[in-house]
Amino acid sequence: MSAREGSAREGSVSERSVIENKIVANKDPLPGDLAIWFVIMAEMLVFGVFFIVYVFVRSNNVELFNEYQLELHRIGGVINTIALITSSYFVALSIHAVRLGNIQRTGNMLLLALLMGAVFVGVKIWEYSHVFGAGIHLSTNTFYSFYISLTFFHFMHVMLGMIILGIIYYYLRKGKYSSEEHQDLETGASYWHMVDLLWIVLFPLVYIIR
């Protein structure tokens, strides 16, 4: 191999490694703390198993599930879906704002997200008050066992997510976060989006499809 060929090959290898480095550099790191992604994965696996068991049990009780599903307050479910989607939107806007260093807007978006979370909680408590007020409980029938346990388990996650967002808002007001340093905010946002994602599967499964 001539010196010229060798030099050309070296040039080609170096060019390729520059391109590969650029590809790697163009990929984003995982938002937030790595630990939250293990939590998210574990939560999604638990809910995933729960959903599959629901479908399996339903397949042996189709008429019962179809009959009692019609008793649920679907408008409440729709309002809650809109509330959670809108809340996720505000959280995404808060991340966008903090990246630009606009702390005031970040705080406002977090407050709006919390407000939408409160709408979800309010509607859910109203829905539960009707269900429990009608004398329905976990052992009423198989459908209600799933409805109450699935939605209440998710409701607990909404409450935890709101506490996390509240703490983040508190530290934001204390001046802890900036456009360069806001990993906690991304961590909390990732958890909140997971809560939204779970509801997006849960809502049609329990309230709509038959």
Partner 1 sequence: MTPSRFASTKTLFIIWVVLIVSTLITAYIGYLELSGYYFVGFILLMVMLKGQLIIDHYMGLKNVRGFWRLAMLGFVYVIPGIIFTGYYLSSV
In the complex, minimum distance from the CB of residue 189 to partner 1, in angstroms, rounded to a whole number: 8
In the complex, minimum distance from the CB of residue 12 to partner 1, in angstroms, rounded to a whole number: 25
Residue at token pair 């009608």: 134
In the complex, minimum distance from the CB of residue 169 to partner 1, in angstroms, rounded to a whole number: 18
- Cα(146)–Cα(45) distance, rounded to whole angstroms? 17
Q: Which is nearer to partner 1, 10 or 126 (CB)?
A: 126
- Cα(15)–Cα(5) distance, rounded to whole angstroms? 15
In the complex, minimum distance from the CB of residue 150 to partner 1, in angstroms, rounded to a whole number: 13
Q: Which is nearer to partner 1, 12 or 183 (CB)?
A: 183
Q: Which residues bind partner 1 (CB under 8 A)?
A: 25-31, 37, 40-41, 44, 48, 51-52, 55-56, 58-59, 62, 66, 70, 74, 77-78, 81-82, 85-86, 88-89, 91-93, 95-96, 99, 186, 189-190, 193, 196-197, 200-201, 203-205, 207-210
Q: Are 210 and 71 in contact (CB under 8 A)?
A: no
In the complex, minimum distance from the CB of residue 122 to partner 1, in angstroms, rounded to a whole number: 19
Residue 70 φ/ψ, nearest 5 degrees: -70, -20
Q: Which is nearer to partner 1, 40 or 168 (CB)?
A: 40
Q: Which is nearer to partner 1, 16 or 210 (CB)?
A: 210
Distance of CA 131 to the CA centre of its chain: 26
Q: Which is nearer to partner 1, 40 or 131 (CB)?
A: 40
Q: How many Cα atoms are found within 13 Å in the side-chain-facing hemisphere of 207?
A: 18
Residue at token pair 């997006």: 200
Q: How many residues does the chain have?
A: 210
Residue at token pair 């209600």: 144
